[in-house]
Each structure stands twice: as C-alpha cells, then as structure tokens.
Structure 1
Amino acid sequence: MDAQSQPDPATFPETTGSGAVAEYVREARRLVFARYPDALGATLGGSSASGRATPGSDLDIAVLLPDDGISRREVLRHEGRLAEVFLHTRVDLGEVFAAARATRRATALFIYAESVLLHDPDGHVETLRAEAQALLAAGPEPLTPNESELGRFLLTDLLDDMAETGLGSDRHEQLAIADRTLNEAAHLLIAHRRAWNGVGKWLPRRLIAADPVLGRELLRGHLALAERADPAPLITAARGVLELLGGPLREGYVGHWRPSAGNGAAES
C-alpha cells in the first residue's frame, strides 16, 4: 500500500478502553495495513482487546479477505510483538462459524464477537461481529447420544484406574491419569451445559463459566492430587459429572467406528 492509498485515519473506528488497549489497537492497525493492504476489514480480539493482556501477550487479529483470497492462519512478529492472525474469506469464515457449533470450540467466534474494530470501511466486519455474537449466545450443539456414551465410558475407565492410585503409587502415572481425567470430565461437563469449550489456560476459564460449582470442584480435586497425591476429591467431582449424564458406563458400551473419526471413536 503506497502513501497515497493509505487509509484516512479519520475513517478508523473509535478506540475505546484503557490506554494499553488503545496502544494494542494502534499496533494491530499498523500490522494490518502494512501486511494485508487488500483486507476488507480487520478486528482485534483476545486479551489485548479486553484489557487483560500481560507484557508477553500476543495480538489476536482477524482479517477479512477478498473473496479470491486464501484463508489461513499466520503467526508473525511485528514491531517486536508476536501476533497470531486469522485470515478468512467471507465464505470460508461462514463455514468456520458453522463448524464451531459442532466442535464446541469457538476461537473465531470469540475473536469476532469480543473485539475492537481495526478497519471496516464497508461494514462487513461489523455484520460478522453481530453474527458471531448471536451464535455465541445460542451456544454449541448439544451432546449426541453417541458422544455422551463415549464420554461416560472414557471417564468411567479413567476413574477405575485412578481409584487404584494413592500414596505409594507411581506419581508419573497418577498425574497422567489425573490430567486426562480433568480434561475428559471438563469437556463432558462443558458440553452437557451447552457451553463453549477451550484448551490450555482457557479450559479452567470455560469450565468455571459453564458450571461454577462442579467446575471448581474438578479443579480443586486436580490440585489436591497434584499437591498431596490424594485422588479422592477428583474422583468425587468426576463422579458428579457422570451422574449428570446417567452414571458410569462399563459393560454394555458399544463404540461404532467411522472412517471420518480417524483411528476409531472408541479409542481411549
């Protein structure tokens, strides 16, 4: 983009929020205009847009591409700051939004829905933000019967393994079982509550948002095992999740393999 075709700053959306957020917005705009001059619009999401960023936080940027663009995800460094850029055409982004309801993972939805506008000369991004907000409010698809049974079976199997651990057990095995148990129980509880899922630091955040009481019990149980090698609190909390979905499932479970499910839906 040459100097004569640079966007007029007077057309930029207003920057709101703290001074730190305003600076992140300016950085993100410079990145978008420097690297993606053909963008139809862009928005800044994540912690940088919400005022929760730390000095090491990256910039989460969504860029709307022309219809002949190539949708992709890029990680780059601009002006010394790491940025993760999600680039989509309108058609591809529609598919991403639709897929989020089935997978219960809504990265793109959150980046658009909880964001600050960077560039939107024709209003396309604002329309997409409204769509993302509506989809988030509607929630993901409910658990299917097959998903519920698979989740119950996997969690039951893990709890049987954990019940055999305790003081004197191999700590590496115990911690590995506990990590898997927390993840399976959390994903199952979040899906049962028709809430949005997450991974990494977002798993406990999404878990507590989905079920503040049982979610915290799972996290406290995991911490008790990590700190004191005591599996009882995590077992109790995970059993609470199972009871919500019909109880433990062992004999009688049948997992159906589907080619699209990779190496088998019933794989534990």
Structure 2
Amino acid sequence: MNDHGNDQDTYRAAATRLVAARHPHALGALLGGSAAQGRATPSSDLDLAVLLPDSGHSGREVVRHEGRLAELFLNTLADIPEFFAWDRSRRRGTVLFLYDRGLPLTDPHGHVARTRELARQVLASGPAPLAPEEREHSRYALTCFLDDLVDPGDPADRHEQLSVAEHVLREAAHLLTAHHNAWTGIGKWLPRRLLDADPVLGRALLDGRRAVAEHADPGPLAAATEQVLDLLGGPLREGYAHRWKP
C-alpha cells in the first residue's frame, strides 16, 4: 500500500522549490490537483496556484521541474476578484477549486488564506446559470445528438457511433449539471463533477457511454439522455429558432 502522506510531502517539497526558483517574490502558493488529493500517479503533473504581487502578470506556465511537468496558475492579487468571476462564468471553476482544495505551500502574509476564503464564497454561490438562449440551444443540440445515436445508420461504422456518444455525454452533462446548479468539468473532471451533481442519473449516463464503447449498444445512453431532456421540458426539434448575432 502506498503511503500517500509521504507522497504528498514529497510533492509539496518539490512544488515549494519550484515556486521559490521561478517566482521568488510570490505572495504565496498552494499545491492542487491529484498530488494534493493523494491520487497522483508517476506521470501526474503538479498543479500549482501562485499568488503574485500586483507588479507581476496573471497567466499560466507549463514547465518541467525535477523531471515532472508542472502547471502554474498565476494570479496577481488585484486580478483575483475579476479572474474568479470569469472562472465562475465558465462553470468549471478550475482555479477556484485549486484554492479551495489545495495544500498551502507558503503564505507569509495571509494573502493565500484570504484568497481561499473568497474562492469558497464564490464556489458556494454556484456556477453562473445558463442563459435561456444557451439552455435552449444545448437542449436542441442534445436532441440532435440523441437522434443520431439511436439512428441505426451503418452498423459497421463504429467511429461515428463513438463520436456521437461522446457528444451526447458532454452535452447531457452540460445540461444536467446546470439543472442542479452544479459545477461541470472537462476531461477526467467531467465524470467526477457529473457524479457530484447527480449520482444516479450521472452514473446512468457514464454507464451508457461505456455500453456504447464496449458493446455497441446505444440503448442505455439513449434512455439516460431522455431522462435528462425530460427534466428540461423534453426533446426540442421543430419550433427551435436561433437568430445569428454578429
């Protein structure tokens, strides 16, 4: 059994050295992601939130440190409120969660602690709701993808079926998390956030996607998707209209 406590100490020490080397004037930093949660693998990168003085520049850096990739999310103190508002508007809250769940590395003046408290307040308010037009467009798109999923088409063309199933899962997750006023995600965070938002229906969507991949059976995913659409007023086909805005 791995000693996750020792692993975390190792990652924290490496992350602290990285911040000291690249950003010696940082106001503070913390380690997030898999390394902070005891879920890191030998190939996992290090995710760090670094708080800079206002003379610095907000942005993102990807570097290799001591043989391991590291992604640094840089924010100046002045930029934090606006950046957190933008992170909330995306409904993923990437940096918000870094501050909420990360392990502090250094915080000599308490700036990281205050920023963490602000992040938690923003997270508690939930992600930005979908605008009615965005919600209806997503509902229409999911209906179209569902129709493609259940259309037998060419049974030998697995590439098309798998591509459609991916779009169904992503669009359904987008709508289901929004329905529950819950945060969403991409990549490996999509299933995690989806299960946080709705353990039952989220699991049905994920298991349905697996049924398509492993057995070429779209039935379970289609059934779960129909449940998502039913929460939002049902499928949307005829009657949908969208006006282009330059």
Give the aligned partner of residue 135 of structure 1.
122
Instruction: Verify: 1:78 aligned to 2:80, yes or no.
Output: no
Give the aligned partner of residue 190 of structure 2.
203
CA distance in 2, matches of 1:70, 1:106: 20
Give the aligned partner of residue 147 of structure 2.
160
CA distance in 2, matches of 1:40, 1:258: 43
CA distance in 2, matches of 1:19, 1:215: 34
Secondary structure of 2:79's counterpart equals helix
Secondary structure of 1:86's counterpart equals strand
User: Residue 172 of structure 1: CA displacement?
Assistant: 1.1
CA distance in 2, matches of 1:245, 1:252: 15
Any idea what the Cα deviations from partners look like across 1:164-217, whole Å, max 9, x if unmatched?
A: 127824211111111111111111111111111111111111111110000000
Within 5 A, what are the aligned runs for 1:33-44? Answer: 33-44=20-31
Within 5 A, what are the aligned runs for 1:178-257? Answer: 178-257=165-244
Give the aligned partner of residue 175 of structure 1.
162
CA distance in 1, matches of 2:99, 2:182: 18
Match of 1:69 among 56, 78, 84: 56
CA distance in 2, matches of 1:187, 1:21: 33
User: Residue 256 of structure 1: CA displacement?
Assistant: 3.0
CA distance in 2, matches of 1:48, 1:223: 28
Q: Which runs of 5+ in 1 are unaligned?
A: 1-16, 260-268
After superposing the two structures, state which structure 1 stretch, 90-99 or 225-234, moved more: 90-99
Secondary structure of 1:91's counterpart equals coil
User: Residue 23 of structure 1: CA displacement?
Assistant: 1.2
Give the aligned partner of residue 31 of structure 1.
18
User: Residue 242 of structure 1: CA displacement?
Assistant: 0.4
Secondary structure of 1:249's counterpart equals coil
Within 5 A, what are the aligned runs for 1:66-145? Answer: 66-145=53-132
Give the aligned partner of residue 12 of structure 1.
none
User: Residue 244 of structure 1: CA displacement?
Assistant: 0.5
Give the letter aligned to residue 69 of structure 1. G
Secondary structure of 2:70's counterpart equals strand
Any idea what the Cα deviations from partners look like across 1:205-259, whole Å, max 9, x if unmatched?
A: 1111110000000011111111111111111100110001111111111123334
The TM-score, its normalising length taken from structure 1, stands at 0.87
Alignment root-mean-square deviation, CA: 1.4
Give the letter aligned to residue 189 of structure 1. L
Give the aligned partner of residue 50 of structure 1.
37
CA distance in 2, matches of 1:165, 1:116: 50
For the Cα contact (< 8 Å) 1:167–1:230, is it kept in 2? Answer: no
- Number of residues of Structure 1 aligned to a counterpart in Structure 2: 243
Bigger Rg, structure 1 or 2: 1
Give the aligned partner of residue 147 of structure 1.
134
CA distance in 2, matches of 1:20, 1:98: 33
The TM-score, its normalising length taken from structure 2, stands at 0.95
Give the letter aligned to residue 131 of structure 1. L
For the Cα contact (< 8 Å) 1:208–1:216, is it kept in 2? Answer: yes
Give the letter aligned to residue 179 of structure 1. E
User: Residue 59 of structure 1: CA displacement?
Assistant: 0.9
Give the letter aligned to residue 142 of structure 2. L
User: Residue 50 of structure 1: CA displacement?
Assistant: 1.5
